[in-house]
Amino acid sequence: MKKLEIKTTFEVFNSIDELTSEVKSLMNQAIEIRKKAYAPYSKFRVGAAILLDNGKIVLGSNQENAAYPSGLCAERVAIFQAGAIYPDAKIIKLAISAASDNNPTVSPIPPCGSCRQSIAEYEFKQNTPIEIFFMGESGEVYKSDSINNLLPLTFDKTSL
């Protein structure tokens, strides 16, 4: 037997104000679209903003449904929209902001497992890392240089 050790590294920004102007703008768009999320059941709102290599920005917010799990997370709404509208564009950056209607969300909220898998699929497809920035309603912002930090043992087409 041997042990496999996996190490990940994130950059931590004390607030959105420490981000570059480009990323700050992207995060502010994620925050604004978060406010338009349809979350009547969980009261947990998430916004995502994607910067593509063609300069376009694609937004998404979570969309819930009474027939769980028919809804979609903000990240997948944005990723799938980008794939549909700009199929040849590469995703460069993804900004995510999450907030609860019930409690302050001050810790960075990372993408869920399904969203991590979708991000991994696009990163694999484009063969280019996607920078991922995520935060709560306020407070610190975490930056990952690739989905590999959040999902180090990926399942992709080479696994099939």
pLDDT for res 9: 93
Place of tokens 């990940």: 8
Nearest alpha-carbon partner for 48 in 99, 101, 117: 99
Calculate the alpha carbon distances from 34 to 7, 45, 59, 60, 73 in Å: 31, 6, 9, 8, 11
What pLDDT is stored for residue 159 in this prediction? 84
DSSP 68: T
pTM of the model: 0.95
Binding site as annotated, residues: 62-68, 73, 112, 115
User: What's residue 123's pLDDT?
Assistant: 96
Q: What CA–CA distances, in Å, run from 65 to 2, 39, 136, 160?
A: 45, 8, 23, 31
User: Residue 75's closest CA among 86, 83, 66, 85?
Assistant: 83
pLDDT tens for the chain, 160 residues: list them.
Answer: 999 999 999 999 999 999 999 999 999 999 999 999 999 999 999 999 999 999 999 999 999 999 888 899 999 999 999 999 999 999 999 999 999 999 999 999 999 999 999 999 999 999 999 999 999 999 999 999 999 999 998 888 888 8
- CA 32, chain centre distance (Å): 15
**Quick one: 11-151 is in which CATH superfamily?**
Cytidine Deaminase, domain 2 (3.40.140.10)
**Which residues are catalytic, by number?**
75
Tell me what pLDDT residue 77 has.
Answer: 98
d(CA 133, CA 108): 9
Q: Binding site for Zn(2+), residues?
A: 73, 112, 115
pLDDT recorded at residue 155:
86
pLDDT of 5 reads 92
